[in-house]
């Protein structure tokens, strides 16, 4: 017990980092959200005419985005869903910097009636690591 009291901060950090590592699995299991990696996203874009939605903030998008991606910051998504209405029948791949914000956006889209929604696993970090094109 004394060890736990003396190392509360370290134990907290371990629990938080463990939860972050498990979040993609928890997200899929409990919320039914699908994920694609960068290569799968490219295949969906090329073969299924998937639409990419970037939910990062304006400053982040200015540094580069997936070519032809639609941009709606996460904080504005609920109020701007009507802009995406014409894409309800297409697969939608949602991207952010690392894949966490986009997971929440997937939930908003699903609640809004979008049936085929995917979270880009690893977000723009994974996209750039895969050496895929970025437009500015």
The catalytic residues are: 96
Q: Using an 8 Å Cβ cutoff, are 80 and 37 in contact?
A: no
Element (H, E) at 51: strand 51-54
Cα 60 from Cα 33, distance rounded (Å): 24
Crossing angle of helices 8-31 and 100-111, in 10° steps, is 30
């Amino acid at each position: 017990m004394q060890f736990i009291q003396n190392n509360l901060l370290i134990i907290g950090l371990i629990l938080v980092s463990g939860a972050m590592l498990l979040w993609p699995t928890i997200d899929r299991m409990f919320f039914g959200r699908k994920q694609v990696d960068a290569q799968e996203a490219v295949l969906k874009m090329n073969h299924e005419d998937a639409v990419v939605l970037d939910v990062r903030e304006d400053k982040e998008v200015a540094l580069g985005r997936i070519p032809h991606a639609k941009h709606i910051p996460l904080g504005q998504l609920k109020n701007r869903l009507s802009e995406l209405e014409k894409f309800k029948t297409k697969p939608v791949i949602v991207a952010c910097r690392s894949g966490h914000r986009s997971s929440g956006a997937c939930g908003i889209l699903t609640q809004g009636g979008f049936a085929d929604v995917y979270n880009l696993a690893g977000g723009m970090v994974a996209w750039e690591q895969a050496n895929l094109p970025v437009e500015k």
